[in-house]
Amino acid sequence: MSTDKTPIKTHPEDFQSAPFMRRFASWVYDFLTAVAIAMLSTVVGFIFTKILEAIGWIDLTGYEDMGAYLTAGWVFKVYLLSCLTAFFCYFWVRGGQTIGMRAWRLRVVDQNGKMISIKQAIIRFYVSLAGLGNLWVLVDFKNRQSLQDYAAKTRTIVLTKEANRQVYREL
């Protein structure tokens, strides 16, 4: 795993900004992955809650079922949001690509073409508004950047096949 902030072998300005349709296609892949992560996280939450109930630390009396108990408060919602944040930030910071971005040869880099920081990744995640921030690309004709790119001072670029392979090998 490469943690240094070395740029990819070609200058970032050599790569075009990602157009809306590529971003949308990548979003579809990542949305399906996010649903799977939320489902897995929910299963873990159910198991953890069942263990806490079994040892007597929590009482589900008064709730229709465990799902009602979990969704009644804010803790479970924050837990799910944290799981999704961790997923996206891990991939953006580690290699600049989520699973969907890898499939569509997109990569997030800072404005100098280097790997983004955890702070930039967190900003990107929350400003993206679950992907709606990409709609800004449709009106930003000059730069083709999304709201999350502007907010986090990043760029989403289209890689060549060779550059995409290089990114994958460096992981």
C-alpha span between 153 and 111 (Å, rounded)? 6
- Is 6 contained in some domain? no
Tell me the pLDDT tens digit for each residue of 150-170: 999 999 999 988 888 887 777
- Is 44 contained in some domain? yes
- Is 101 contained in some domain? yes
- Is 4 contained in some domain? no
pTM (whole model) above 0.95: no
Copy the structure tokens of residue 139.
């009106």
- Is 1 contained in some domain? no
C-alpha span between 109 and 153 (Å, rounded)? 9
- Domain total for the chain? 1
- Is 3 contained in some domain? no
**Which residue range forms the structural domain that includes residue 157?**
12-170
Tell me the pLDDT tens digit for each residue of 45-103: 999 999 999 999 999 999 999 999 999 989 999 999 999 999 999 999 999 999 999 99
